[in-house]
């Protein structure tokens, strides 16, 4: 009887090794299953709840991916424009502009910035960009832009307040209490306002206001303030008389208050003296062309 001889048949060692590997796989599956079962018992969720959670996460991820693809392809922007045009067709487009809060500035400058939005669909109006455009106007301190459906853009303006006139080398300009330039003015328009001059004076407007507040009785009588050498002030009063103050905020304020007290007692303003020099903390020097030459008088507490 013929016998079949198999070549390359599995040897005993190979079979043993295969059986060992299968045993290890079964052991690993058993340990993994046990670990998962232990974790499931530890978590405060049922298997159905976990299944729902993972299913929801997969759906949300798919939607996010679809949204990203649509945005990249421009479909979202296109859909937004179509919705805006549909809103415009329903009457939601800019047909009127209302401006509030304008008292001193030219109101037409506000309308010039806003009227470009007329006949535009309301959803397409960029309120933030429109506000930024209005903030570029010199008189505008703050602005609020809003939609009043169905067809009106409302603009609320907060104007800057004129404070003084700044003398530049070639012109006069109106400024607010922070030194912000509002608009050029003529000498006639500058009449009656405090005129500030000198290199760097624009950056000292706030400090000058603080200085003048130290002597309220003198403040309305100051016609001009000259910033000298980028360190101190010369004040010219309505009488044409000049007061030279020392440098330093504290020393200048102290000298100005002392001058106010001296003026209250001796009526210095309106007299024959044309200039007062209080740069020396212990004395005040007077210049009087029509007076006899005399030594400097004690300052009576002119400095601090």
User: pLDDT value at position 64?
Assistant: 73
- Tell me: do 135 and 205 sit in the same domain: no
Q: Give the residue-averaged pLDDT of 101-116.
A: 90
Beta bridge pairs of residue 168: none
Tens digits of residue pLDDT in 62-78? 677 766 665 655 544 44
Task: Over range 3-22, report the average pLDDT.
Answer: 56
pTM of the model: 0.65
Counting beta carbons within 10 angstroms of the beta carbon of residue 175, is it exposed (0 to 12), middle (13 to 18) or buried (19 or more)?
Answer: buried
Which pLDDT score, from 0 to 100, does residue 302 have?
44
Residue 20: per-residue pLDDT: 58
Q: Same domain for 261 and 192?
A: yes
Q: Tens of pLDDT along 234-265?
A: 999 999 999 999 999 999 999 999 999 999 99
Enumerate residues 6+ apart whose C-beta is below 8 A from 163.
175, 176, 177, 194, 205, 209
Q: Taking the alpha carbons of 51, 57, 59, 62 in that order, is the dihedral positive or negative?
A: negative
Torsion sign across C-alpha atoms 268, 270, 273, 274: positive
Q: Which of residues 112, 136, 159 is at a domain's end?
A: 159
Tell me what pLDDT residue 88 has: 45
- Confidence at 115, pLDDT banded by 50, 70, 90: confident
Between 123-127, 260-264, 299-303, the lowest mean confidence (pLDDT) is in 299-303
Q: How many domains does the chain have?
A: 3
Q: Which domain holds residue 287?
A: 162-298
Q: Are residues 193 and 261 in the same domain?
A: yes
Asked if the structure places residue 87 within a domain, the reply is no
* Residue 87 predicted with pLDDT over 50: no
Predicted local confidence at residue 289, as pLDDT: 84
Position 4 in a domain: no
Report, as an integer, the average pLDDT of 102-125.
Answer: 84
């Amino acid at each position: 009887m013929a016998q079949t001889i198999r070549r390359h048949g599995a040897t005993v060692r190979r079979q043993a090794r295969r059986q060992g590997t299968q045993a290890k796989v079964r052991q690993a599956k058993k340990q993994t299953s046990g670990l998962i079962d232990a974790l499931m018992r530890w978590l405060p969720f049922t298997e159905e709840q976990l299944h729902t959670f993972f299913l929801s996460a997969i759906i949300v991820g798919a939607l996010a991916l679809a949204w990203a693809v649509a945005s990249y392809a421009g479909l979202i922007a296109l859909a937004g424009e179509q919705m805006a045009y549909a809103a415009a067709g329903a009457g939601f487009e800019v047909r009127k502009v209302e401006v509030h809060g304008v008292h001193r500035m030219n109101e037409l400058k506000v309308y010039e910035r806003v009227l470009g939005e007329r006949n535009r669909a309301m959803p397409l109006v960029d309120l933030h960009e429109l506000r930024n455009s209005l903030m570029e106007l010199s008189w505008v301190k703050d602005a609020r832009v809003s939609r009043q459906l169905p067809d009106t853009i409302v603009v609320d303006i907060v104007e800057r307040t004129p404070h003084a006139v700044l003398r530049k080398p070639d012109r006069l300009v109106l400024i607010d209490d922070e030194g912000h330039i509002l608009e050029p003015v003529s000498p006639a328009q500058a009449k009656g306002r405090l005129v500030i001059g000198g290199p760097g004076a624009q950056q000292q407007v706030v400090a000058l206001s603080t200085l003048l507040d130290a002597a309220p009785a003198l403040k309305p009588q100051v016609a001009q303030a000259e910033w000298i050498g980028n360190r101190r002030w010369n004040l010219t009063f309505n009488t044409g008389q000049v007061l030279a103050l020392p440098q330093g905020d504290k020393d200048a304020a102290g000298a100005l208050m002392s001058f106010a007290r001296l003026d209250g007692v001796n009526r210095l303003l309106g007299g024959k003296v044309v200039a007062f020099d209080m740069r020396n903390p212990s004395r005040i020097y007077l210049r009087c062309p029509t007076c006899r030459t005399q030594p400097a008088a004690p300052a009576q507490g002119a400095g601090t």
